[in-house]
Amino acid sequence: MEEKLTPEESAILEELRQSIRGDDSQRSRLIPILQKVQERLGYLPPEAVKMVADHLAVPLSEVYSVATFYNQFRFHPPGKYPIKVCMGTACHVRGGEIILENFERKLEIKEGETTEDREFSIERVACVGCCALAPVALVGETVHGHMAPSKVEGLFTRIQVQKEIEEKRRKKDGSE
Amino acid sequence: MDPNETPQCRRNLEALQAKAAEKRREKEAAPVPVIHIGSATCGIAAGALDTRQAFQEALAERGIEARIHTVGCVGHCYAEPVVIIDHPDSGFPPIFYHEVTPGKARMLVKLFLEQGDPRFEHIYGATIENDMIPWVQEFPRFSMEHRLVMDRCGRIDPEDIFEYLDDGGYAALAAALETEPSDIVAEIGAAGLRGRGGAGFPTAKKWSFAAATDGEKFVICNADEGDPGAYMDRTILESNPHQVLEGLAICAYAVGASRAMVYVRAEYPLAVRIVTRAIEQARSEGILGESVLGSGFRLDMEVFQGSGAFVCGEETALIRSMEGFRGMPVHRPPYPVEAGLFGRPTVINNVKTLASVPPILENGAEAYRSVGTADSPGTAIFSVVGDVVHPGLVEIPMGTTLRTLIYDVCGGIAKKKSFRAVQIGGPSGGCLPESFLDTPIDFDSLIEAGAMMGSGGMVVMSEDSCVVNVCRYFLEFTQKESCGRCTFCRIGTRHMLEILNRLTCGEAVEEDLERLENLAHDIREGSLCGLGKTAPNPVLTSLRYFREEYEAHVREGRCPGMMCRPLIAYYIELDKCARGCDACVGCCPTDAVFTTSTRKKGIDLELCVKCGECMVACPPEYDAVRKISPAHLAPVVERSPKRDKEAKDKA
Ligand SMILES: Cc1cc2nc3c(=O)[nH]c(=O)nc-3n(C[C@H](O)[C@H](O)[C@H](O)COP(=O)(O)O)c2cc1C
Ligand code: FES
């Protein structure tokens, strides 16, 4: 799957290009720079990887070889609501896998994928640090503890409601 | 060092302490109640931020003056969000409240802060001794802990360096700067401090190797914490970062390094933020930088964000990743203390090791040795999770038995179930049965038992958990995290995982167990780094202590813990099922539960994904849903073809 950069993404990339110019070009900066890029863009599009490779004068393949080694880096855009399901030990023992399956079934995508409308993505993470609440899932940065299949349904309803509220607010703001 | 220059550090520290005391007095000038809210990751996850907001709103609404004090984690994760209210005017001691939801917060503002009623039914305990409310120290969860490293966690605001200074922080560093580096190493040696990163290597030995080298050197705090079920290091960094920085600074001074790094995983955004801020504060107060506390000793410190690879916790892999390469371990020797980061001598210590340093220097080696055992002095910090009543972070003296930790400190097995196993040390550790519960927790006894201290993750499993399944989980993890450099680890773990997959699906054959064991031994012998060498540990120990469980999976297709989903089935006991109740039908995510001709319910085993939701939903007075293994023992209830079709179309 080859995604095109959205206009916003292209703008951010341009900004990044300017800002890393001032950055050190030592090899040891590779990972910090990739992190910086991903922090802004949410993922590492091919254009960005090429930019980093050029800046550090490291072959593109080498940058990919490093970036793909680490779990942190992703090469597809995350959804607007990134869902992370904890697969840490405590959550595993309490049925984290079942929660993951429920999200997958509901969104009809697999972990590591993003829905076509780029609204949702599913990822597995290891230990969010609140094992006492296992099993745990995150939507964005919000942690939801004691997950159960029925709570997965509830979460989507909540997101839907939230969206509608935002929509209304935006309309209101627009009309004012 | 110039003897005339030395008092400078102490003078500078005293000036900082005076400033800290002044800030405290300013804050305390208005005698208002103080609300301490635990806001580390665990607290936030449980809703601490909403709780804080509720407090703020309620205080504003009612026009009550009170100070909200953000603190780190107290370690009582089962009780989060935790709030301590100190309201001296009420005549009550500071009170510890647990599970403070926004609603509870509003109620406490109204009833306690406004009307003086502390609501006894919501109180967990008082934080000081008194004759009205039970003192928390009377509870085993508090009294059996021995907080040396985590003492200040949950007491101070991690984002305010002055609270740390006011609590006696950085005194050990100031004193150290007036001491010969070799004396510091000697003191750490006398204390017998062993590395808390897993292997228990004597810290003083590591430092003295590095101190003996010349030229540029580095010191690194290893906060990679790759164990997927442990979070002690993160909590310490989030709750009391300065103690770790102080330990790291002392380490740098003792070995003669002028650059220090904290390697924190990027998945810990809060820890990254707090540590970064702590370093900035320390720098702006002259505790780091050109001349540490005016001693003339120069130290720069920075944060490096790890990118989430378990193997990067291994020191040589960690170094590779900092240099901008794939984090693959390299052969040792040379050890990092000889040739580490950029080829320079590098000391790498775990967060807990470094956080132990200031208290050792402050109280002396003797005091440190008085806790713990002769060969493993000090305390051990575990994140105890799984089926215990009080999961969370605990710091206990080394030598405490597993039984005391699980049954007394953590309250025993949840839901009155019986104990099956305890897994210690995460993916590199082992699984121990009940007969080992009297094993003392220290580096050597655990290794003797087949487990290891490892990362400090501890998973307690009740009868409802499957040891084989948990081992498969750990192996899946190590297999995925294997860096692929050596064949044994890369291919061996894959074969092991395949066998374990077969076992948990009921497709294994008798010879598989032997094959599994042989593979495990070969991988242990043949792997290059600690990841591969220890990856078979969970399997090896469980094969030794829980062989009958493996055999049940192979011979009967039965999962004794009823956790391996391919081997279990759910069914509804018709005698118990109530006609009018639809709880299970409504909750099933796949429409597998159907209504029979008698209006009782049945489960369509073809559609059932075995999530267990119906079992939870079934009202306890009926308690009609059953779980059974092997799966074929479940009685079959026929679904009428018409309904069957409807449901399938829907699915
Ligand atoms: C696969 C593997 C993972 C490791 N993960 C960690 C870790 O997450 N944190 C840590 O402090 N040490 C980890 N270690 C141990 C480090 O290599 C090193 O021994 C330790 O950081 C030294 O610190 P210490 O002397 O304070 O224990 C790991 C080792 C291996 C083999
Ligand atoms: S294992 Fe999921 S939060 Fe720790």
B508-533 residue pLDDT tens: 999 999 999 999 999 999 998 889 99
Q: A159 and A100 share a domain?
A: yes
The pLDDT assigned to A159 comes to: 87
Beta pairing, strands A137-139 & A142-144 = antiparallel
In a domain, residue A75? The reply is no
Task: Quote the strand ranges of B117-224, DSSP E.
Answer: 123-126, 218-223
pLDDT digits (tens, 9 = 90+) for B460-477: 999 999 999 999 999 999
Determine the angle formed by the axes of helices B232-239 and B351-369, rounding to 10 degrees.
80
Query: What chain A residue is nearest to B471 in terms of C-alpha separation?
Result: A89
Q: What is the mean pLDDT of chain B?
A: 92
Q: List, for chain A, all residue ranges whose pLDDT scores fall below the cut of 70.
A: 1-3, 175-176
Res. B1 pLDDT band, cuts 50 70 90? very low
- Is residue B126 within 8 A of residue B135, CB to CB? The reply is yes
Q: What is the ipTM of this complex?
A: 0.90
- Residues B545-569 have pLDDT tens digits of 999 999 999 999 999 999 999 999 9
Both A58 and A98 in a single domain?
Answer: no
Cβ distance A93 to B426 less than 8 Å, yes or no, reads: no
Select the more confidently predicted residue: B454 or B270. B270
A87 and A32 fall within a common domain: no
For strands B346-350 and B218-223, give the pairing: parallel
Parent domain of A95: 81-175
Residue B650's pLDDT is: 62
Output the domain CATH number for residue A13: 1.10.10
Judge: A90–B386 Cβ closer than 8 Å, yes or no.
Answer: yes
pLDDT in tens, B93-114: 999 999 999 999 999 999 999 9
User: Within this chain, do residues A153 and A98 fall inside the same structural domain, yes or no?
Assistant: yes
pLDDT band at B501 (very low <50, low <70, confident <90, very high): very high
pLDDT score for A3: 65
Q: Does B45 touch chain A (CB under 8 A)?
A: yes
pLDDT for residue B645 is more than 80? no
Please list, in sequence order, all residues whose beta carbon lies within 8 angstroms of the beta carbon of residue A35, skipping any fewer than 6 positions away: A72, B266, B305, B307
Which residues lie closer than 8 Å to B178 by C-beta, 6 or more apart?
A: B1, B6, B7, B9, B10, B295
pLDDT value for B370: 95
Domain with CATH 3.30.70.20 in chain B: 568-650
Confidence of residue B642 (pLDDT cuts 50, 70, 90): low
Q: Is residue A109 part of a domain?
A: yes
Same domain, A99 and A128: yes
Q: Summarize pLDDT for B598-636 with one digit per residue, the tens.
A: 889 999 999 999 999 999 999 999 999 999 999 999 998
Looking at domain B161-369, which CATH architecture does it have?
3-Layer(aba) Sandwich (3.40)
What is the CATH number for A90?
3.40.30.10
pLDDT classification of B36: cutoffs 50, 70, 90:
very high
Say if ligand 1 is within 6 A of residue B236 CB: no
Q: Are residues A142 and A98 in the same domain?
A: yes
Q: Kindly list the distances between the CA atom of residue B154 and the CA atoms of B77, B81, B139, B505, B624, in Å, as whole numbers in the listed order.
A: 12, 12, 18, 45, 44
d(CA B449, ligand 1 centre) in Å: 21
Look at chain A and report how many structural domains it folds into: 2
Residue B374's pLDDT is 93
Percentages helix, strand, coil for chain B, rounded to the nearest 5? 45, 15, 40
Q: pTM of this prediction?
A: 0.92
Are residues A94 and A65 part of one domain? no
Of A19, A46, A69, which marks where a domain is finished? A69
What is the distance in angstroms between the Cα of B613 and the nearest Cα belonging to chain A?
A: 7
- Cα separation, B21 vs B162, in Å, equals 8
Whether the per-residue pLDDT at B491 is higher than 60: the answer is yes
Q: Taking CB atoms and an 8 Å limit, are A71 and B477 in contact across chains?
A: no
Q: Which residues pair with B303 in a beta bridge?
A: B262
Residue B229, pLDDT score: 83
Asked if B323 and A28 come within 8 Å (Cβ–Cβ), the reply is yes
Length of chain B as a residue count: 651
- Among A69, A96, A111, give the residue marking a domain's end: A69
**How much is the pLDDT for A2?**
55
CATH topology of domain B31-143: Glutaredoxin (3.40.30)
Most confident of B216-220, B231-235, B633-637: B216-220
Residue of B nearest to A137 (CA): B45
- pLDDT tens digits for range B434-456: 999 999 999 999 999 888 888 78
For atom 29 of ligand 1, the residue with the nearest CA is: B314
In a shared domain, residues A107 and A151? yes
Residue in chain A lying closest to B307 (CA): A72
Question: B570 near B596, Cβ under 8 Å?
Answer: no
Residue B141 has a pLDDT of: 84
**Shared domain check, A85 and A62:** no
CATH number, domain B379-556: 3.10.20.600
Last residue of a domain, one of A69, A96, A122: A69
Fold of B568-650: Alpha-Beta Plaits (3.30.70)
Q: B323 at the A interface (CB within 8 A)?
A: yes
CATH 3.10.20.600 domain range(s) in chain B: 379-556
**Residues in A touching B325 (Cβ below 8 Å):** 27, 66
Provide the angle, in degrees to the nearest 10, between the axes of the packed helices B181-191 and B203-211: 160
How many angstroms does the Cα of residue B170 sit away from the middle of ligand 1? 26
pLDDT exceeding 70 applies to what percent of chain B? 97
CA dihedral A106, A112, A115, A116 (to 10 degrees): -150
